[in-house]
Amino acid sequence: MNLEQFKSKKKEFLTYLQVERNLSDHTLRAYEGDLRQFITFWEYLAPAEQKSLGLRQIIERYLVGLFYKKIDKSSIARKFSCFKSFTHFLQSQGIKIDLNLKRPRLDKKLPVYLSIDEMFHLLDSVNNNELPTRYPLRDKTILELLYATGVRCSELISMRLCDIDMDNKTIRVSGKGKKERIVLFGDKAKDKLAEYILTERPAAKKQDEPLFLNYRKEPFTARSVQRVIEMFRKFLKIDRHITPHKIRHSFATHLLNQGVDLRVVQELLGHKTLASTEKYTHVSLDDLARMCDALHPINTMLKKK
**Which positions are catalytic?**
152, 176, 245, 248, 271, 280
Which amino acid, residue 295? L
- DSSP per-residue letters across 192-255: HHHHHHHHTSPPPSSTTSBS-B-TTS-B--HHHHHHHHHHGGGGSSS-----HHHHHHHHHHHH
Distance, CA of 85 to CA of 79 (rounded, Å): 10
Cα radius of gyration (the chain): 24
Distance, CA of 211 to CA of 162 (rounded, Å)? 9
What distance in Å separates the CA atoms of residue 183 and residue 181, rounded to the nearest whole number? 7
Those residues with Cβ within 8 angstroms of residue 219's Cβ, 6 or more apart along the chain or in another chain = 157, 210, 212, 213
Neighbouring C-beta atoms of residue 150, cutoff 10 Å: 23
Our measurement of the distance from residue 122's CA atom to the centroid of its chain's CA atoms, rounded to an integer in Å, reads: 22
The span from the CA of 106 to the CA of 88, in Å, is 23
